[in-house]
Amino acid sequence: MVTGTIEDMTPLRALELDELRRRSSIKWSHHDPDVLPLWVAEMDAPLAPAVRDVLLRMIESSDTGYPGGADDYAAAFAEFAQWRWGWGGPVASAVVGDVMNGVVEALRVMTKPGAPVVICPPVYPPFADAVSVADRRLVTVPLGSDDRLDLDALGATFAELGPGAGFLLCSPHNPTSVVHTADELAAVADLAGRHGVRVVVDEIHAPLVPTGFVPYLTVPGTSDAMVATSASKAWNLAGVKAGLLLAGADAVDDLDRLPLLASHGPTHLGVAAHTVAFREGRPWLDAVVADLAENRALMAGLVERYLPQVRWTPRNGTYLAWWDCRGLGLGDDPAAVLLERARVAFSSGPTFGEGGAGHVRVNLATTPEVMSLAVDRVASLVRGSR
């Protein structure tokens, strides 16, 4: 039971397992009730009080019509960007249904039908879908063995593809949780500029990065790029949709060419919730970031002690962990085995593309109880299979 204010609590310690099991969102309803869900990117925390309050007020007044407040949403993001990153925000923006819809629309106005679009797997599976839905041709440049961008391979591919190609970048990277450095982003911008490649960036996890995140549009040479973002991941608002598409100075004309239908996806509740999150939800976010740091340390200790065959580099770019489970001997899709035999749901590594075989993605935005139970189940399975 939640009491007091969330700012005085630890949001990822606030709910008991039986409370979480009563949720009807996909994370908690998709699998059988005995399964522990550490898969889809939802957080097991109460809403930030300011977000909860605005949603309750709107429901109580039946304020559920068409969305308004687009300019206020953009202004709230700019205020957050100044507070978090010392950046005043983009020169122009548009409200879209969500980040992936924004990515599709950006690809459509920045590249031509059939144009090649590069992604760097293993990466969020809908990236490949977005390229297909936008009627573009998928090109892959896998991450390096260190899970970072392979800049040499990107440069060679950009040179081969030439002007008119696109590059869809995940920053910070999902599933590896890598935070790209300023030098890496500057190198991407330089390569894209030299070869006429247009860049679209998904920065949905950025507010969760405690230090070191660099907004792509602050990097020199990115004025013709677009960025898609929202409060969805950092404040657990996937169910109340509203995204922002941000444009550099030389991409404003592209932004202006978005079809009217692109603005029909966000909900009125979503625009209000995301606006309040960016503007008033900062104490709650800081509390979540602190909880996540503790969760990473806890998970690292549990893995080292009970699952030494699993290789994992803890990183703070998201609330996700990318486990290399090849040492467990569970095949190319260990998530399928662990779901069936350990009753723990992880995201399937192969769905993230090249480099995903033998891996699982783990959602750390849960309670210590759920994490500990999940590791215990996996470890018991591993011990029993020997």
Q: What is the pLDDT of residues 334-378, one digit of tens each?
A: 999 999 999 999 999 999 999 999 999 999 999 999 999 999 999
The stretch 225-253 carries a mean pLDDT of 97
Judged against a pLDDT cut of 90, whether residue 290 lies above it is answered with yes
Judged against a pLDDT cut of 70, whether residue 172 lies above it is answered with yes
Q: Report the pLDDT value the prediction gives residue 1, as an integer from 0 to 100.
A: 37
Judged against a pLDDT cut of 50, whether residue 4 lies above it is answered with no
In this prediction, residue 5 has a pLDDT band, given cuts at 50, 70 and 90, of low
Show Cβ contacts of residue 167 under 8 Å, excluding neighbours closer than 6 positions.
117, 118, 119, 154, 158, 188, 192, 197, 198, 199, 200
In which residue are the tokens 């550490």 written? Answer: 38
The C-alpha atoms of residue 319 and residue 289 are separated, in whole angstroms, by: 9
Whether the full predicted model's pTM is greater than 0.85, yes or no, is yes
Q: Report the pLDDT value the prediction gives residue 9, as an integer from 0 to 100.
A: 74
In this prediction, residue 236 has a pLDDT band, given cuts at 50, 70 and 90, of very high
| Helices 334-342 & 368-384 angle (0-180, nearest 10) | 100
Q: What percent of the chain has pLDDT over 90?
A: 95
| Helices 282-306 & 368-384 angle (0-180, nearest 10) | 20
* Domains of the chain with bracketed CATH: 6-47+282-384 (3.90.1150.10), 57-279 (3.40.640.10)
In this prediction, residue 263 has a pLDDT band, given cuts at 50, 70 and 90, of confident
Supply the mean pLDDT for the chain. Answer: 96
In which residue are the tokens 């190609």 written? Answer: 165
Judged against a pLDDT cut of 50, whether residue 46 lies above it is answered with yes
The C-alpha atoms of residue 139 and residue 136 are separated, in whole angstroms, by: 10
Q: Report the pLDDT value the prediction gives residue 2, as an integer from 0 to 100.
A: 42
Q: Report the pLDDT value the prediction gives residue 311, as an integer from 0 to 100.
A: 98
Judged against a pLDDT cut of 90, whether residue 384 lies above it is answered with no
Q: Report the pLDDT value the prediction gives residue 3, as an integer from 0 to 100.
A: 41
Q: Report the pLDDT value the prediction gives residue 386, as an integer from 0 to 100.
A: 60
In this prediction, residue 8 has a pLDDT band, given cuts at 50, 70 and 90, of low
Helices (DSSP H) in the chain: which residue ranges? Answer: 17-21, 26-29, 49-60, 70-85, 99-110, 126-133, 151-161, 182-195, 232-235, 252-256, 268-280, 282-306, 334-342, 368-384
Show Cβ contacts of residue 185 under 8 Å, excluding neighbours closer than 6 positions.
171, 214, 216, 219, 222
**Strand bridging mode 226-229 / 243-247:** antiparallel
Degrees (nearest 5) of the Cα angle 260, 199, 321?
Answer: 100
N- to C-terminal Cα separation, the chain = 41
Q: What percent of the chain has pLDDT over 70?
A: 98
Q: Report the pLDDT value the prediction gives residue 385, as an integer from 0 to 100.
A: 72
Lowest mean pLDDT among 4-8, 121-125, 149-153: 4-8
Encode pLDDT of 53-92 as tens digits: 999 999 999 999 999 888 999 999 999 999 999 999 999 9
The pair of three-digit structure tokens given for residue 22, joined into one six-digit string: 């009563």
